[in-house]
Amino acid sequence: MAVVVRDLEAALGFYRDRLGLPVELVLPIESDGVTIAFLPVGESKVELVQPTDPSTGVARFLETRGEGFHHVCYEVTNLAETLDRLAGQGIELIDVVPRKGAEGPVAFIHPRSGHGVLVELIEAPGGPAWSTLKY
Amino acid sequence: MAVVVRDLEAALGFYRDRLGLPVELVLPIESDGVTIAFLPVGESKVELVQPTDPSTGVARFLETRGEGFHHVCYEVTNLAETLDRLAGQGIELIDVVPRKGAEGPVAFIHPRSGHGVLVELIEAPGGPAWSTLKY
């Protein structure tokens, strides 16, 4: 679950210091114009996303809607195959083929198909898209 | 993660039939005016919440904002103690003491403290609030 925040240190003051979630990693991703803190909860993770470049979509999201829930991400074993199947089933895809995300192959499903939720799919490490996209 | 949906069967058409998440339980909760489908993912769950009573807060949420993310819930071992600590640390609580939720003792943290996210806390089964609230 990814949450857009204005100030990562302030958000960690709540998620890490008050809720007590462990911080696995704080990663500046310059290509996406964000810094992300990953806080594992069971087998899932909360991602706190702070925009660092005002020209990005996530920065505009923060300016227009304020801090809050941004998207949820699920891991799949074969991303290209999953996208082909979903497209054939009438699901509205933002990315019809896997694209190179900072942390591996990713694709987004439009909130119109996700019942109001922006859904990201990532491919599990070692899946076929990793070699296709040449990581 | 709880998602408010207009029609549970339609939402299951996406989450169960397209994303492939298993459905653990579909539970009508008359006292809250909702029916909830629970879909486990790892140690977490997606909850699809369909309002069944138009006078509830979640029904008004659906009418004004449409389908989408509603709140996230974390389990704690001692809810009353956690709430006392959070209040002392300046966190804005909607419920300052545990209240009787349909699935156990619950309390909500205001989105102003949750960086734009409505946060629910529940007590793990067998915790002290279960006997205090007489389940």
pLDDT digits 0-9 by tens, A5-38: 999 999 999 999 999 999 999 999 999 999 999 9
If you write DSSP's letter for every residue of B26-70 in order, what string do you get? EEEEGGGTEEEEEEEETTEEEEEEEE--TTSHHHHHHHHH-SEEE
Report whether pLDDT(B97) > 90. yes
Rounded mean pLDDT of A62-69?
98
Query: What pLDDT digit, counting tens, does each position of B108-133 carry?
Result: 999 999 999 999 999 999 999 999 99
pLDDT above 90 (res B103): no
| Interface A:B, Cβ pairs < 8 A | 81
Other beta carbons within 10 angstroms of residue A126's beta carbon come to 9
Residue A74, beta-bridge partner list: A121
- pLDDT confidence of residue B46: 98
**What interface predicted TM-score (ipTM) does this complex get?**
0.95
Which chain A residues contact residue B3 at CB under 8 A? 115-117
Average pLDDT over residues B7-15: 98
Mean of per-residue pLDDT scores for chain A: 97
Q: Which domains does chain B have, with CATH numbers?
A: 1-66 (3.10.180.10), 71-135 (3.10.180.10)
Question: Strands B104-109 and B99-101, how do they pair?
Answer: antiparallel
* B 71-110 residues with CB < 8 A to A: 72, 74, 86, 89, 91
- Which helix H or strand E contains A70, and what residues bound it? strand A68-76
The pLDDT score that the predictor gives to residue B102 is 85
**Global confidence as pTM:** 0.96
Residue A112 in contact with partner chain B when CB distance is under 8 A? no
pLDDT of residue A127: 96
| Cα dihedral across residues A2, B121, B18, B41: positive or negative | positive
> Which pLDDT score, from 0 to 100, does residue B9 have?
98
Report yes or no: B1 and B40 within 8 Å, Cβ to Cβ. no
